[in-house]
Structure 1
Amino acid sequence: MAANALRREALLDAAIAVLAERGTRGLTFRAVDANAGTPVGTASNYFANRDELIAQVFEQIGVRLAPDPDEVDRLSQRTPSTELFADYMRYIVARLSAERDVTIALFELRLEASRNPRIAELVQNWVSTGFAADVAFNDGAGLPGGREQLALFHYALDGLMLDRLTAPIDPSTSTDQVIDRLVDGLLK
């Protein structure tokens, strides 16, 4: 059973890599098997269809982008402030940047949602659930900003990540400087 769970995880990681490299149109069971180094037909034994594969890819993206509890604990020891809020934003951007393929795969799925209602439903559920958790965390941590400001930060960070992962508008401006300016503009 453990081997099956490990193989399923490897197939999901391979699907993420395929999405990042080839986009949603390149996401086939054959491509996933090739990327995972498994025999042809393996992915179809684990996932009933492409929609199920994509649904489980969202779960795997969540696992791969999850914050390190020790880092969250370290940050939570500090007094709530706009500076702490900025450091949480930096930590989010660092995780998204470190997991480049995962972030690109997520962007690919979000773009595909504009063309595919089934994927749109998955994306909407994933985004809504994540946003609600972010609002709850922010409120629970006593950080500045409410639901509206957090939505604005989501919009800004999505744009920032798209910029940094593709063709930056201004590569000479550091990501930290951008985050500081966003925090200053939205919270002060």
Structure 2
Amino acid sequence: MVQNPARRAALTDAAIDVLAREGARGLTFRAVDAQAGVPGGTASNYYASRDDLLHQTARRIHHRLTPDPAVLTDLLRAPRDRALVTALMLNLMSRIGDDRAGYLAMLELRLEATRRPELRAELTETIRADLEANVAYHLGEGLPGDRETVVVLYLAMTGLIVEHLTLPDVLGPDAVGALVDAIVERIVPDGLRRAGNGP
């Protein structure tokens, strides 16, 4: 059967919505068809199995969560200092607000990966590669700090994201901006980096 790439993307986006709302146990072909508003049996024509659906959904989430290059280019017009790192982290939190379902679905996939070795291997490889790309990007753009700075920043921001998405009232709705400021201030070294300087 010839498959329509736009239909596949719509089905995978529907799977993300189901995963974010219902969790991994609710992610069925029938639920995806209903969410996408397509005839029953459509999703099963596009995915060989439920495992295939999970893997394709993970890839689609990764694509959706990638930052907009134009926005990054605009942000990177600023000096390479702590304020720029704060702006980048605030942009991350803004993207979470814009695609809450995508981030919640990724959390659900992480939990499901604890029970599915193949999914765990795929997510580990993808997220490790993303982390290393973030380290390379941070250093390559001359932002303050070193590899450890980026790893600790990643861990702190991941904790903030989980808290914000799952139990937002613990910190309060207006706390995120101040917490991002505090995280960057405590983790990222002070001072301005100039192009060409080493980490």
TM-score relative to the length of structure 2: 0.89
2:194 paired residue number? none
Call closer, same or farther: CA 1:172–1:22 in 2, change over 3 Å: closer
Query: Which residue does the alignment assign to 1:59?
Result: 59
**What number of residue pairs does the alignment pair up?**
188
1:165 corresponds to which residue? 165
Q: Which residue of 1 aligns with 2:179?
A: 178
* Cα distance in 1, alignment partners of residues 16 and 145 from structure 2: 33
Aligned counterparts of 1:124 and 1:134: Cα–Cα separation in 2: 15
Structure 2 unaligned residues grouped into runs of 5+: 190-199
Aligned to 2:83: 83
| 178-187 or 114-123: bigger deviation | 114-123
What is the deviation of 1:146? 2.1
Decide whether the 8 Å contact of 2:164 with 2:171 is kept in 1: no
1:5-58 deviations in Å (ceiling 9; x for gaps): 110000000000010011011111111111111111111111111222122112
Tell me which structure has the larger Cα radius of gyration.
2
* Structure 1 segments (4+ residues) deviating >4 Å: none
The letter for the 1-side match of 2:175 is S
Identity of aligned residues (%): 40
Local SS of the residue matching 1:144:
coil
The question of whether the paired residues in 1 share the 8 Å contact of 2:65 and 2:95 is answered with yes
Distance in 2 separating the partners of 1:149 and 1:33: 43
Take 1:60 and 1:30, find their aligned partners in 2: how far apart are those partners? Answer: 19
Give the TM-score normalised by the residue count of structure 1.
0.93
Q: Which residue of 1 aligns with 2:193?
A: none
